[in-house]
A = this chain, B = another copy of it.
Amino acid sequence: MLETARAIISAKGLRSLKVRDVAEAAECSIGSVYNEFGDFDGLILTVNRQTVQALSARLAAVPADDPVRQLHGLAETYLTYFTEHANLLRSLYEHRMEEDRPFPEDILLMVMRAFALMHDPLVRLMPKADPADIALQARMMFSAAHGIISLGLEERMVAVPPEKLRQQLARFVDTYLAGLCVTSGQGKKPRGS
C-alpha cells in the first residue's frame, strides 16, 4: 500500500497520486487507506518520511576519512539520490500541508540531522570557527547544493545532463571550500578532482 504510493509519486509525481489508485493497487477499499493514514496528507507524509530516512542512511554511509573527500561524497551522494528519486524528493520539499497544519516534528529532525552531517568535516577544516556558526554554514552549504541540484535537474528549465551536473557540483564544493579557507584565514590544501 505504502509501496504503491511511493511508486506512483516516484514515477509520475506527487500530483498524480490518487487515493483510489492506491486502494485499487493494494486491493483494499478507499476507507482502509483512511484507517491506515488518517488522511491524504498522512499518506504523503509517510512516504516522505521514508524518503528522508533512505536519504539520511545513504548520506550517513559516506566515509568520514578526509573532511574534503567527505564533503564531496555527501554532495555526490545527494546528487545521485536526487537523480534516482527526483519526484520523491520534490514531494518532500514541495508538499504543503492542508490549512497550515504543523510540519511533522520527526521529519524536521531528520532533515536537520542531514544538515548536521556536514558539521564534523567543516569543524575539521576550520577548527578555530565557532561551532554555532559552523551549524549555519552547514545548513547553508546544504541549501546551496540543494539549489544547484534541484534547479539543475529541473526538466522544465532544460535539465543539465547528470554527468555535467556532477562535475559542476564537485567544482562548486571545491570553489566554496577554497573560499572558506581564504576568508577564514586557515591555509588548507585544495584537492585535485
Contact = CB atoms under 8 A, between A and B. Distances in A.
Q: How many copies of the shown chain assemble into the complex? A: 2
Interface string A170-193: 001011111111110000001000
A136 B169 CA distance: 11
Contacts of A146: 147, 151
A128 B147 CA distance: 27
Interface stretch (A24-32, A62-70, A152-160): A152-160
A179 B181 CA distance: 8
A143 interface: yes
B175 A183 contact: yes
Nearest to A108: B157
Given A144-B147, A175-B179, 16 more contacts: A103-B157, A111-B157, A140-B168, A140-B172, A143-B148, A143-B150, A143-B151, A144-B144, A144-B148, A176-B179, A177-B179, A178-B178, A178-B179, A178-B183, A179-B180, A182-B190
